[in-house]
Amino acid sequence: MRLRGADQVADLVTAARDGSPRAVARLISLVEDGSPALREVMAALAPHTGHAQVVGLTGAPGVGKSTTTNALVAELRRQHRRVGVLAVDPSSPFSGGALLGDRIRMSDHATDDGVFIRSMASRGHLGGLAWSTPQAVRVLDAAGFDIVLIETVGVGQSEVEIAALADTTLVLLAPGMGDGIQAAKAGILEIGDVYVVNKADRDGASQVSRDLRGMLSLADRREGAWRPPIVKTIAQDGTGLPEVAAAIGHHHDWLVVTGELAARRTRRAREEIEAIALEVLRGRWGSVGRTDEVSALAAAVAAGTSDPYSAADRLLGG
């Protein structure tokens, strides 16, 4: 996508803030493409950000993440909150914009301009989703969405990264998936702000909930620390979703009162800056005339005529 001049960026940003889904979609495409226009876009968006509550949703495949996202969106819409959803698949380099799951999900909220749903893909971008997701969140935030849900659609590994992007992290579990043990292994006992035991209509949901409560009670929590609630849901029919929405609201209040919201956001901004700085450096090394230099340095280090620290110094200094 080509954009010329500041006017087009300003127009897009204005249109997105006026609620144009098309403008929001175009801005997110610029993020995915790593467009050079992003500098201007982010500068134009910055004064309008900081309002949205960013909620991450994670859990093993099959626990009901997309069903829960859908039901949560419906619940939040009942409360007249505008909701943006980013479905991120860290394991896939392909754009999921046209995936079947997306279309099915979209169909529930297709005529509702208070909902924007988008799959994010890294498209082989070096910084990947860790780089692009926070920028897509900025787009939705500036476009006036009250809540931005980030749902992981991929497998494993990504939970902790998603937690780093969100103000509030929901961890989903379900009976029949050996989640008790898995939970401890994957480290999700540390990252959840709200635990959702989905498929409460199935045998074993109460057991999962009890096991989880037992494990969470072992955690060493300071006085005044947040105690993650456990909410049982049947995502398919919306049971328990008002309680999930309430828990998200309580956590947000706690974040504000304790100053933890500002602390988390500052931490996040720091990571964003570092990711962008690294991108800029990588871009410089890949620029015309410098790839030869990097190759020569690599050959020298491989041959033992230089060491990697000196080579890195040369790269950074030059």
- Residues at the interface with ligand GDP (CB under 6 A): 59, 61-67, 198-199, 201-202, 234-236
Give the start-end residues of each E strand in the chain: 53-58, 83-88, 115-120, 147-152, 168-173, 194-197, 230-232
Residue 122 tokens read as 């890294």
Nearest residue (CB) to ligand GDP, 98 versus 280: 98
Secondary-structure percent of the chain, ordered helix, strand, coil, rounded to 5:
55, 10, 35
Specify the residue, 23 or 234, whose C-beta has the smaller distance to ligand GDP.
234
DSSP code for 146? S
Query: Least separation, in Å, of the C-beta of 201 and ligand GDP?
Result: 5
Closer by beta carbon to ligand GDP, 139 or else 212: 212
Q: Find the shortest distance in angstroms from Cβ 185 to ligand GDP.
A: 18
- In the block, tokens 């070096």 appear at 126
**Cα 176–244–232 angle (5° rounding)?**
30
Type of residue at 50:
G
The rounded distance, in Å, linking the Cα atoms of 277 and 279 is 5
Please report how close the Cβ of residue 242 comes to ligand GDP at its closest, in angstroms.
15
> Which token pair is 170?
């929901």
In the complex, least distance from residue 162 CB atom to ligand GDP, rounded to whole angstroms: 13
Judged by beta carbon, residue 82 or residue 105, the one nearer ligand GDP is 105
Measuring CA to CA, which residue among 85, 70, 68 is closest to residue 200?
68
CB of 68 to ligand GDP, least distance (A): 7
- Cβ 199 to ligand GDP, closest distance in Å? 4
Q: Which is nearer to ligand GDP, 22 or 202 (CB)?
A: 202
Q: How far is the CB of 303 from ligand GDP (least distance, A)?
A: 49
Fill in the DSSP letter of residue 235. T
Give φ, ψ of 4 to 5 degrees. Answer: -115, 125
Neighbours of 67 (CB within 10 A): 18
Q: Which is nearer to ligand GDP, 59 or 90 (CB)?
A: 59
Strand partners, 53: 147
Closer CB to ligand GDP, 24 or 241, in the complex: 241
251, 193 Cβ separation under 8 angstroms? yes
